Amino acid sequence: MKKVVIFSISEDTEEIRALLQTLGMEVIKEFVQNRSRPHRESFLGPGRIDEILKEMEEMEVDLIVVNGVLKPSQHHFLEMKFQMECADRTGVILRIFTDHAHTPEAIAQVTLAKLRYELPFLREWIHKSKSGDRPGFLSGGAYATDVYFEHAKTHARRIEADLSDVSKQREVTRTRRREKGYSLVSLAGYTNAGKSALMNKLCNAGVEVDDRLFSTLSTTTRRISGIKGNILMSDTVGFIRDLPPDLINAFNSTLEEIFDADLILLIFDASESDDVVKSKLSTSLKILVPKIENRSIVAIGNKIDLLSQESRVGITVLIKPIIQPYDLILISSATGEGLDQLRERILMVQGHTCVIEAEMPLTDAVYSLLSRIRSSSEVSMKVIRRHAAVIVRCKPEDSERIVGWLNAAGAAKITTNAESPEMPPERETPSSGNEGAPL
């Protein structure tokens, strides 16, 4: 088992510990130096680094893990100072991804993410290469690193092209599903929130459920069982805070499956402390909202079997303002509580073929109108200054009534697309897809 020490500028090391535990590494000591921001050169500060260096002389350590994002110059400094391999939080996450990637698409995405992550470190290494061999995984001296750098750039370009093909293929698959009358519900949320457990409960999917972080890296799509309707569900990679945009973008072909769904279920672990729930939900919303182009979201608080009645009320009060204007449903994937309400909500996506777009002033009356519409239709909303751009997806027979309400509430620029695609007959055993296999 690899022995690790953690360097951190805050006491909050719970998540990095969980990440290291997922990797099967043993944390033998944490060195915390409380600071508002990392020291420019040494992350923890030069005085503290010298103390730690002395202390570590007596210890057997294989890896230093920094609880934060390292700049290439800080990474270089720490490795040279300690003559030891050093990884930051993103590097740790990438190691987990590497261990858990088993499908060709996931392997390509992880390889691309790693190449993009390593390139700035390599550049730094080349810049300072005269000083000797790097103790870690890029060892081999200046010439070898230079060659690797060129090779890495070419390799990254090739994978980008392959993944762009996968992305196009997935889009074709999604369009074909829609043409056949299938709706797609996707599961999004922080890693370990219970997405796969919910998928198994609703679809008998047999997806891996585990207390480790990032158990799921690739996409599984299955039909939701036990409800009338052609509704598919996709489970895929979870979110985590502070991931560099480049790394998230490497997973685009997978994430598009979430972003392009008819309904997105944003799962969170309702049994965690208030602060953790808030921060994980905010991270998830920050990743989701810019990408979803007004698609509908419902927030799903999972693991309520671990909560008292009182805490359930508390979590509702805490969460409502954060997820506004989206709905909240509390469930337990373990006991099945709340799943009937969730199924009812999911069923609403079927048959909502009419799309109404409108611009609304943001008043209390409009908020209550939107929640009235939401009881029978999908509503999504983007706030632009004091106005809301609203999209309603509803059954064609409801459209006239809803347009009337919107007009009465002072909506402007109302447009309606009332096409109703022909629905295919329901199939008992539809093909189900894994890794974007065509449905």
Residues in contact with Mg ion by CB under 5 A are: 195-196, 215-216
Instruction: Give 386's contacts (C-beta < 8 A, 6+ positions apart).
Output: 361, 362
Residue from 30, 305, 327, 398 touching ligand GTP (CB under 6 A): that is 305
Output the smallest distance, CB 400 to ligand GTP, in A.
41
Residue from 38, 68, 91, 238 touching ligand GTP (CB under 6 A): that is 238
How many Å separate Cα 361 from the centre of its chain? 32
- Closer residue to ligand GTP, CB minimum distance, 85 or 269: 269
Output the smallest distance, CB 198 to Mg ion, in A.
9
Picked from ligand GTP, Mg ion, none, the partner binding residue 303 (CB below 5 to 8 A depending on kind) is ligand GTP
Output the smallest distance, CB 187 to ligand GTP, in A.
8
Spatial separation of the C-alpha atoms in residues 91 and 57, rounded to whole Å: 25
Output the smallest distance, CB 208 to Mg ion, in A.
7
Q: Give the CA angle between residues 66, 70, 75 to the nearest 5°.
A: 85
Interactions with ligand GTP, residue window 334-363 (CB under 6 A) = 334
Task: Tell me how many helices (H) and strands (E) the chain has.
Answer: 14, 15
How many Å separate Cα 30 from the centre of its chain? 28
Is the peptide bond prior to 325 cis by the omega test (within 30 degrees of 0)?
yes
Output the smallest distance, CB 248 to Mg ion, in A.
17
Spatial separation of the C-alpha atoms in residues 133 and 396, rounded to whole Å: 68
List the one residue out of 28, 25, 30 whose CA is nearest residue 13.
30
Sign, CA dihedral 16-22-23-28, equals positive
Instruction: Return the residue nearest ligand GTP (CB atom).
Output: 238
Residue 41 is encoded by which pair of tokens? Answer: 């050169």
DSSP string, 126-188: HHTGGG---SSTT-SHHHHHHHHHHHHHHHHHHHHHHHHHHHHHHHHHHHHHHHTT-EEEEEE
Determine, following the binding rule CB under 6 A, whether residue 284 of this chain makes contact with ligand GTP. no
Output the smallest distance, CB 251 to ligand GTP, in A.
12
Picked from Mg ion, ligand GTP, none, the partner binding residue 191 (CB below 5 to 8 A depending on kind) is ligand GTP
Picked from Mg ion, ligand GTP, none, the partner binding residue 193 (CB below 5 to 8 A depending on kind) is ligand GTP
Output the smallest distance, CB 431 to Mg ion, in A.
22
Stretch that binds ligand GTP, among 3-11, 188-196, 414-422, 431-439 (CB under 6 A): 188-196
Output the smallest distance, CB 217 to Mg ion, in A.
9
Determine, following the binding rule CB under 6 A, whether residue 109 of this chain makes contact with ligand GTP. no
Stretch that binds ligand GTP, among 31-39, 148-156, 303-311, 378-386 (CB under 6 A): 303-311
Residue from 109, 196, 218, 252 touching ligand GTP (CB under 6 A): that is 196
Determine, following the binding rule CB under 6 A, whether residue 188 of this chain makes contact with ligand GTP. no
| Contact yes or no for 76/223 (Cβ under 8 A) | no
DSSP string, 384-429: ETTEEEEEEEE-GGGHHHHHHHHHHTT-EEEEEE---PPPPPPPSS
Determine, following the binding rule CB under 6 A, whether residue 218 of this chain makes contact with ligand GTP. no
DSSP string, 33-50: ---SS-BTTTBS-HHHHH
Residue from 210, 242, 340, 426 touching ligand GTP (CB under 6 A): that is 210
Positions touching ligand GTP (CB under 6 A) are 191-197, 209-211, 213-216, 238, 302-303, 305-306, 332-334
